[in-house]
Amino acid sequence: MTVDNLMNWFAELGDFPELAFILAVLICAVPVFLFIAIYALVAIYGELKISSFMQDKVGPMGQGVGLHAGKWGLLQPVADALKLILKEDIIPASADKKLFILAPFIVFIGAFIAFAALPFNQNLIIADMNIGIFYILAVSSLGVIGLIMAGWSSNNKWSLYGAMRSAAQIVSYEIPAALSIIAVIMLTGTLSMQGIIQHQSGFVWGILPNWIIFQNPFTFAAFFIFFVSGVAECNRTPFDIPEAESELVAGAFTEYSGMRYAFFFLSEYANMFIVSGIAVTAFLGGWQSPIPGILNSPGWGLWWFMSKAMFLIFVMIWFRWTFPRLRVDQLMNVCWKGFTPIAMVNIFGVGIWHLMLG
């Protein structure tokens, strides 16, 4: 409700509704953008270090906080960001210029506006719409258009391959994801994000949190379906055939360099966060504390939300370095012949379970 709260606060100061609206939106949007940027840096660093631990190598070293040689390499993501900003901006001569320039923005916008409905906290949610989760699922599909534009305008057969595969994959995996969310909505009766979280308050038998994942064996399955579909939507391994390095160099983004590439990169990590955020909200209780009674003030609420989301992101990173990648037709098989039927069965199961056992 943050934009609304800010609007009310401005209304007390004076009567300038349009300016108040713009100011309120800016005050909410700029921190989100900063959050995405900082979170992306942290996630990149985490990915490098976690992958090095898993792969028996050392990863970024040196650049300790005091700029001397150390074990942590904390300035590595800063160096990465600086490098991307300072790189030369190359547009291929035969590329379709307008689409080429527009594509990263559309992909990023698709990821960015979904943040408007993520509930970080009891109070920190930019727009607590009563169709919150429906809104997020809808706008996160915008990124596909940007991807296709990127692949087509690069005038490169490999980019086109990557963009086509990516578009097919994202559009297909939206369906099991949405069907799993329907299973959740059947239980909560509301589409609003805060409402879903409120539904999961309380504890069963005194110690088990009343999260949706524990309420019903079918929602337990729905969580895994949703999470794996989310990994597929982010184009992460094992579903990273659109950016398969050994075949397509960088897929749809081959021709992009510098800041434009940074935008694609940022939006991939932002998408990961959104998928984790929805999974945490819908299945894992959102900002609620898992321990009965304590640590449930608003400050702690933010901490719980972030730590649960970070844990899911860690699992995504773990997947990437463990599994080989699926071929395109196998990917589609898994989606249409595997996940979608299971998600539909889940919906029936949730309804029947709820009906019979209250």
Partner 1 sequence: MGVVQGDQMVLNIGPQHPSTHGVLRLKVWTDGEIVSEIKPYIGYLHRCFEKHSENVTYEQVIPFTDRCDYIASMNNNFGYVVTMEELMEIKVPERVEYIRVIMAELNRIASHLLALGVYGLDVGAFTPFLYMFRDRERILDIFELTCGARLLYNYMWVGGVSHDLPKDFERICIGFLDYFEPKIKEYNDLLTHNKIFLERTADVGVLPPDVAINFGVSGPNLRGSGVNWDVRKDEPYSIYDRFEFEIPLGEGEFGTVGDSFDRYWVRMCEMKESIKIIRQAIKDLPDGDVFQTIPKKIRPPKGSIYRRTESPRGDLGYYIISDGSPIPYRVKMRSPAFTALSSLGEIAQGWMLSDVIAILGSLDIVLGEIDR
Interface positions with partner 1 (CB under 8 A): 51, 54-57, 157-158, 161, 237-238, 240-241, 244-247, 249, 320-330
Smaller CB separation from partner 1, 57 or 68: 57
Residue 196, strand partner residues: none
- We find the least distance from the C-beta atom of residue 335 to partner 1, in angstroms, to be 14
Smaller CB separation from partner 1, 68 or 94: 94
Q: What angle do CA 310, 221, 194 make, to 5 degrees?
A: 55
Name the nearest CA neighbour of 229 among 306, 186, 283.
283
Residue 206, strand partner residues: none
Smaller CB separation from partner 1, 145 or 328: 328
User: Three-state DSSP class for 62?
Assistant: coil
Name the nearest CA neighbour of 115 among 315, 267, 317.
267
- We find the least distance from the C-beta atom of residue 226 to partner 1, in angstroms, to be 20
Q: In the structure encoding, which two tokens stand for residue 270, read together? A: 């932002």
Q: What burial class does residue 348 get, using C-beta atoms within 10 Å of its C-beta: 0-12 exposed, 13-18 middle, 19+ buried?
A: exposed
- We find the least distance from the C-beta atom of residue 265 to partner 1, in angstroms, to be 18
Sign of CA pseudo-dihedral 270, 271, 276, 280: positive
Q: Are 41 and 78 in contact (CB under 8 A)?
A: yes
Q: Which contiguous run of DSSP H or E holds residue 197?
A: helix 193-199
Smaller CB separation from partner 1, 191 or 232: 232
Smaller CB separation from partner 1, 212 or 244: 244
Q: How far is CA 322 from CA 40, 50, 315, 318, 333, in A?
A: 22, 12, 11, 6, 21
- We find the least distance from the C-beta atom of residue 43 to partner 1, in angstroms, to be 17
Q: Are 223 and 313 in contact (CB under 8 A)?
A: no
- We find the least distance from the C-beta atom of residue 273 to partner 1, in angstroms, to be 22
Smaller CB separation from partner 1, 128 or 255: 255
- We find the least distance from the C-beta atom of residue 91 to partner 1, in angstroms, to be 21
- We find the least distance from the C-beta atom of residue 39 to partner 1, in angstroms, to be 23
Smaller CB separation from partner 1, 18 or 56: 56
Smaller CB separation from partner 1, 51 or 257: 51
Distance from C-alpha of 140 to C-alpha of 118, rounded to nearest angstrom: 13
- Cα 217 to chain centroid, rounded: 25
Distance from C-alpha of 3 to C-alpha of 265, rounded to nearest angstrom: 28
- We find the least distance from the C-beta atom of residue 346 to partner 1, in angstroms, to be 22
Smaller CB separation from partner 1, 128 or 243: 243
- We find the least distance from the C-beta atom of residue 77 to partner 1, in angstroms, to be 20
Could you give the angle at which helices 258-283 and 76-86 cross, rounded to 10 degrees? 130
Distance from C-alpha of 340 to C-alpha of 28, rounded to nearest angstrom: 37
